[in-house]
Amino acid sequence: MARRFRDRFRRRGGRGASSLVVRGNRGVDELVSDILTRHDSTTRRELAAVVADEYLAADDEARRAFLDKLARKFWTSREDVDTAAKQLASAGDDLTARTAAEQQLRAALTPPATELLHIFTGLDDGVKLLVDLRADLLRLADDDPALRALDAELQAHLATLFDVGLLELRQITWDSPASLLERLIEYEAVHAIDSWADLKNRLDSDRRCYAFFHPAMPSEPLVFVEIALTAGVATELQSLLDESAPDLDPERADTAVFYSISSCQPGLAGVNLGTALIKEVVERLRRDLSNVRTFVTLSPIPGFRPWVDEQLRTGQLSDRERDLLPAEPARVLARLDDADWGADESIGPALTALCARFLTTSLGGRALDPVANFHLSNGAALDRVTWGADSSPTGRARSVGLMANYLYEPNRIAERAEAYAKHGTITTSDVVKDLLA
């Protein structure tokens, strides 16, 4: 078995606790019980390193069993909670007594498993361990309520550890470590990077790439964004990814196009880092490139295809959409998968109009499309919807080749974010308004 955490522990912490570990055939859960009753912090960390190593050496079944133990055996005690709740009920109006009773009840409601998560944090590479543990949890939890409660606990802890104020924004260039660039190739989620040559093109002089890093996992990007500097707003993808296209002199660019944003750590799902990344990068570019004044995304529309299929199938079309369609809805639907026909200009106007409607439709205050919801929450406006913008198989499969631009206007971001959050208001450009007319 690998002894990664124990070996690192040796290098950083004290020695000698291992003599205390007489594992015999005790289960890992007995080891955890032992840890939680120890007083010496070094011993606790050393034993936690043993648990970490065993966890990493285990297969999925054993990992799920361990997580299950954490979520059930090391969870709140119903008895303790009830006792503390009664004490609070009888605490009366005295501030001191009531404060103490509240603290006690909150302590009873904090599961012992949380303490183990905190001890893990103190190990070398412990933060990465927590992130990976949560990735396992999300993968293995199914709908088990105990595991989901453990997940909520872990997510809250990670949200504190990964507070934006603790992260470091770094520019990534062709001078960055190859080991880091290799990770970008691996993690790129929106438009796959084919080769080192493709990557190099994305790091050319007219490109920018930025990522957030956490000081406790300095070689692991958390989320990164790819940007093209252009003259005018780029509305379609292929020219941006064309390796043979000449570079634009950055001093002649007036627009920054955020064409890909990818999360690298599945274990940080639900910890929103993308919003802060976009906003910090916009500020960075404003400061560094005084001539760039327009900040816009070029974004996929992952929810469009199932939605438009449904509209065509059921015929839920406006009169104008119906007029724009070059054939019966059912026929259009039937041939949409046909590559040649799918790129046909004749269906462009109708699908663009449908897409504009899709992107401005909300349900319960949230835009139907998750990417739209992300950017609108951030305070962006829907600027353009473009037919034939992504002719890759993926692009055609998810949105019939359509893509959207969202516009970030620094001075309007705050009010738009607030309006969308409170009233579901979706700001659109005049171009989009025309599509909707």
Show which residues are catalytic: 299, 375
Strands (E) in 264-421, as ranges, are: 294-297, 362-363, 366-367, 381-386, 403-408
Min separation Cβ 97 and its own copies, Å: 9
Min separation Cβ 28 and its own copies, Å: 20
Nearer to its own copies, 256 or 402 (CB): 256
CA max distance for the chain: 80
Min separation Cβ 245 and its own copies, Å: 20
Residue 14 to residues 39, 46, 328, Cα–Cα distance (Å): 15, 8, 75
Strand pairing partners for 260?
A: 226
DSSP 337: T
Structure tokens belonging to residue 119: 């001890």
Min separation Cβ 169 and its own copies, Å: 8
Nearer to its own copies, 153 or 390 (CB): 153
Structure tokens belonging to residue 385: 């919807």
Give the separation between CA 278 and CA 280, rounded to whole angstroms. Answer: 6
Nearer to its own copies, 229 or 278 (CB): 278
Nearer to its own copies, 287 or 393 (CB): 287
Structure-token match 């659109």, residue found: 428
Give the separation between CA 291 and CA 259, rounded to whole angstroms. Answer: 19
Are residues 383 and 426 in contact, defined by beta-carbon separation less than 8 angstroms?
no
Min separation Cβ 194 and its own copies, Å: 13
Structure tokens belonging to residue 315: 């015929």
Min separation Cβ 426 and its own copies, Å: 15
Min separation Cβ 317 and its own copies, Å: 34
From 154, 212, 220, select the one nearest 183 (Cα to Cα).
220
Distance of CA 378 to the CA centre of its chain: 14
Are residues 206 and 198 in contact, defined by beta-carbon separation less than 8 angstroms?
no
Nearer to its own copies, 335 or 412 (CB): 412
Residue 129: CA atoms inside 13 Å, Cβ hemisphere, count?
Answer: 24
Q: Report the length, in residues, of the chain.
A: 437
Nearer to its own copies, 172 or 355 (CB): 172
Report CA torsion sign: 108, 110, 113, 118: negative
Nearer to its own copies, 3 or 412 (CB): 412
Give the separation between CA 379 and CA 295, rounded to whole angstroms. Answer: 12
Give the separation between CA 289 and CA 285, rounded to whole angstroms. Answer: 5
From 291, 292, 294, 297, select the one nearest 275 (Cα to Cα).
297
